[in-house]
């Protein structure tokens, strides 16, 4: 009988150590997320949900469970992974801590069933609340980054595509659109996958031109549509509310239609003639002035903009620009990106 009691006490001690470690882990992960919701996004509702979850978790962290802690005897304290040593962006921090929190809650749900019949149920519910929090935060984060982005790079086909985009990202670029009208789908898929991962590593938004299917496949942040592409409403139906949808506009009527149909942002142009839009006449700076007065979503002046004519574009009240050749063909894409951003600040 004594041996059975001893064995039960031994198992209970081990169980409490598991619960203690994961109660701490879940609360720590949520606190990291909460700090961004509070100070990064200034969102009181998201911050409150994080705080409420932390407090509910804390109510299960009894003195009895805490007493089982044995940090010096924990073999896992020396374990680490190279990916944990560096974070390149806020997105990586959030993703890592959502995973950390969700994993901890799953452990608490399973082992909590042994400790208390109510504990497993409580942590299952909390786990789904964290899933909801994550799905809410993704579109919020995308919208926040879109609104703060001043420079938008639209790529053009080149042998050193990835290297140029990374150079621009090092210069502070936060918004990239992959555009290639001529490549086959296998090449597009490969390039889009590489660029998407690269942009997310740097905390930048990645948009795919035209192709909703490609955007979904690679996990892009959204899609950009032209006037002859898929209707915005249908793209929204396919993508859902989490994704960004941009739309090219060439006149006031296009602008109002795009906004009414639910575009998250619009391109305004081409301001100047550009080989990227061969055959389309320039709309000039008057349309930029019109957009400044009437656009209710973020808008980017686009079309032949470079460092020489940028002052005129800024004088037309444009506060965001999209460029292609100015960065894709620059001798130093990093330096050119920094130059544009300094003028747009």
Residues annotated as catalytic (active site), given as ranges: 179, 248, 277
Strand pairing category for 244-249 and 299-302? unpaired
Radius of gyration of the chain (CA): 25
CA-CA distance, 162 to 192, in Å (whole number)?
10
What is d(CA 200, CA 196) in angstroms, rounded to the nearest whole number?
6
* Rounded distance between C-alpha atoms, residue 99 and residue 91, angstroms: 12
Distance between CA 316 and CA 329 in Å, rounded?
25
Tokens 């990202």 belong to 169
Residue appearing with tokens 């090219």: 248
């Amino acid at each position: 009988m004594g041996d059975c009691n001893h064995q039960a006490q031994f198992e209970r001690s081990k169980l409490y150590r598991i619960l203690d470690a994961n109660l701490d882990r879940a609360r720590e992960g949520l606190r990291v997320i909460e700090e961004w919701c509070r100070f990064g996004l200034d969102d009181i509702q998201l911050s409150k949900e994080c705080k409420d979850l932390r407090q509910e978790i804390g109510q299960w962290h009894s003195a009895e469970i805490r007493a089982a802690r044995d940090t010096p005897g924990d073999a896992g304290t020396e374990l680490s992974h190279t990916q944990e040593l560096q974070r390149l962006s806020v997105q990586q921090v959030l993703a890592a801590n959502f995973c950390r929190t969700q994993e901890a809650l799953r452990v608490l749900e399973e082992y909590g069933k042994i400790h208390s019949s109510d504990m497993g149920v409580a942590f299952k519910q909390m786990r789904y609340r964290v899933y909801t929090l994550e799905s809410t935060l993704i579109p919020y984060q995308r919208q926040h980054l879109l609104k703060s982005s001043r420079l938008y790079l639209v790529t053009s086909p080149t042998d050193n595509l990835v290297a140029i985009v990374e150079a621009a990202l090092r210069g502070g670029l936060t918004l990239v659109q992959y555009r290639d009208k001529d490549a086959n789908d296998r090449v597009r898929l490969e390039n889009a996958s590489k660029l998407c991962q690269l942009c997310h590593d740097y905390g930048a938004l990645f948009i795919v031109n035209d192709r909703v299917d490609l955007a979904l496949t690679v996990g892009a942040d959204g899609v950009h549509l032209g006037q002859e592409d898929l209707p915005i409403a249908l793209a929204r139906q396919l993508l859902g509310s989490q994704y960004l949808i941009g739309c090219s506009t060439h006149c006031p009527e296009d602008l109002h239609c795009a906004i009414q149909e639910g575009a998250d942002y619009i391109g305004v142009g081409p301001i100047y003639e550009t080989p990227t839009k061969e055959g389309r006449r320039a709309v000039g700076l008057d349309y930029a002035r019109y957009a400044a007065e009437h656009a209710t979503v973020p808008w980017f002046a686009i079309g032949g903009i470079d460092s020489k004519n940028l002052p005129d574009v800024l004088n037309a009240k444009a506060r965001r620009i999209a460029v292609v050749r100015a960065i894709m063909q620059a001798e130093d894409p990093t330096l050119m990106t920094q130059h544009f951003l300094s003028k747009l600040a």
